[in-house]
């Protein structure tokens, strides 16, 4: 089976004897959190540092996703790797894959996905906790960056499926911010236009209750590439508010 190893990292990993699936599987590391378990399988995340370069090494065993196209299941990392590759081809800012491979060992399905660590970036969840301490220009730049990221995502006719603050990472760049996405396992094509787009956006707003109506208008203006006081922003604000209210009632 052919594994993927990013060309830019090959020499570094070869130098440390980590350029193969077996070597990465055997490397002893401390997990960054408790492993996920499902259906008798497990999935765990580890931090790997090599010569000042940070990575997240994710390993899983019999941790399978079943779909109509793959009724017997496949490692969830296989789907995430495909989506990472798709985002890269489409120009949607997202985490970078460095290594991917999968194996069957005595009936056990193993998979490894290694991604570049987003050192120097902050997840939106952390920034929301600091929101009152951020300056107005910082808040506005973050809102614009999130709106532009959503526009890039939906412009490529992709729905993230978990467009939550913890999956949006931001980095200051002068007076602006850059944004990118992680956790792409649930990405799927946009099939139903505005309905799918609203379904993707609403969870972000629900998980950012600290944002005022003015904040949301600014995000939507960037998302729609429209003035803040435009009728289209009004319409989307109403659509998302109605969806959020419906979710709250449920």
Instruction: Report how far residue 75's alpha carbon sits from residue 204's, in angstroms, rounded to the nearest whole number.
Output: 27
pLDDT band per the 50, 70, 90 thresholds, residue 245: confident
Instruction: Report how far residue 207's alpha carbon sits from residue 216's, in angstroms, rounded to the nearest whole number.
Output: 12
Q: Are residues 152 and 101 in the same domain?
A: no
Backbone angles phi, psi at 143, to 5 degrees: -60, -45
3-state helix, strand and coil shares in percent for the chain, rounded to the nearest 5: 40, 25, 30
Predicted local distance difference test score (pLDDT) of residue 1: 62
Q: Does the pLDDT at position 199 exceed 70?
A: yes
Instruction: Report how far residue 162's alpha carbon sits from residue 213's, in angstroms, rounded to the nearest whole number.
Output: 22
Q: Does the pLDDT at position 174 exceed 80?
A: yes
Q: Are residues 146 and 107 in the same domain?
A: no
The domain total for the chain is 2
Residues near 28 by Cβ (< 8 Å), separated by ≥ 6? none
Q: Residue 64 is part of a domain; what is its CATH number?
A: 3.30.200
Q: Which of 112, 89, 114 is nearest to 6 (CA)?
A: 114
Q: Six-digit token pair at 12?
A: 């570094």
Q: Does the pLDDT at position 247 exceed 80?
A: no
The mean pLDDT of 92-106, rounded to a whole number, is 96
Predicted local distance difference test score (pLDDT) of residue 13: 98
Share of the chain above pLDDT 90, in %: 87
Q: Does the pLDDT at position 249 exceed 60?
A: no
Q: Are residues 92 and 179 in the same domain?
A: no
Final residue before a domain boundary, out of 83, 116, 149: 116
Neighbours of 212 (CB within 10 A): 10
Q: For the chain, give the mean pLDDT.
A: 94
In three-state secondary structure terms, 117 is: coil
Q: Does the pLDDT at position 155 exceed 70?
A: yes
Q: Are residues 44 and 149 in the same domain?
A: no
Burial of 65 per CB tally in 10 Å (0-12, 13-18, 19+): middle
The boundaries of the domain holding residue 112 are 4-116
Predicted local distance difference test score (pLDDT) of residue 70: 75
Final residue before a domain boundary, out of 93, 116, 139: 116
Beta bridge partners of 65: 74
Final residue before a domain boundary, out of 101, 116, 131: 116
Span 18-62, pLDDT tens digits: 999 999 999 999 999 999 998 789 999 999 999 999 999 999 999
Predicted local distance difference test score (pLDDT) of residue 38: 86
Q: Does the pLDDT at position 248 exceed 70?
A: no
Residues in the chain: 250
Burial of 136 per CB tally in 10 Å (0-12, 13-18, 19+): exposed
Q: Does the pLDDT at position 250 exceed 70?
A: no
The mean pLDDT of 62-72, rounded to a whole number, is 79
DSSP state of 207: T
The mean pLDDT of 158-180, rounded to a whole number, is 97
Q: Six-digit token pair at 107?
A: 């009936």
- E-strand spans in the chain? 4-5, 36-38, 41-50, 53-61, 64-65, 74-75, 97-105, 108-116, 122-123, 158-159, 168-173, 176-181, 188-189
Predicted local distance difference test score (pLDDT) of residue 246: 66
pTM, rounded to two decimals: 0.93
Note whether 183 and 123 are within 8 A (CB).
Answer: no
DSSP state of 229: T
Q: Residue 237 is part of a domain; what is its CATH number?
A: 1.10.510
């Amino acid at each position: 089976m052919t594994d993927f190893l990013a060309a830019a990292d090959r020499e570094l990993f070869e130098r440390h004897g980590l350029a193969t699936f077996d070597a990465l599987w055997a490397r002893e590391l401390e997990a960054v959190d408790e492993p996920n378990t499902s259906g008798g399988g497990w999935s765990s995340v580890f931090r790997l540092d090599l010569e000042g370069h940070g990575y997240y090494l994710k390993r899983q065993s019999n941790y399978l996703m079943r779909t109509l196209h793959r009724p017997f299941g496949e490692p969830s990392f296989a789907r995430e790797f495909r989506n990472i590759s798709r985002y890269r081809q489409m120009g949607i800012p997202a985490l970078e894959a460095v290594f991917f491979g999968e194996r069957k060992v005595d009936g056990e399905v193993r998979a490894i996905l290694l991604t570049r660590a987003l050192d120097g970036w902050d997840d939106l969840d952390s920034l929301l906790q600091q929101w009152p301490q951020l300056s107005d220009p910082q808040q506005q730049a973050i809102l614009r960056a999130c709106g532009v990221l959503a526009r890039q995502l939906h412009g490529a006719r992709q729905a993230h499926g978990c467009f939550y603050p913890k999956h949006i990472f931001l980095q200051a760049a002068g007076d602006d911010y850059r944004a990118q996405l992680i956790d792409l396992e649930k990405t799927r094509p946009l099939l139903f236009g505005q309905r799918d787009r609203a379904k993707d956006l609403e969870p972000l707003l629900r998980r950012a209750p600290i944002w005022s109506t003015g904040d949301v208008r600014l995000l939507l203006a960037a998302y729609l590439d429209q003035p803040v006081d435009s009728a289209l922003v009004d319409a989307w604000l109403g659509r998302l508010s109605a969806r959020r209210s419906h979710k709250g009632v449920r």
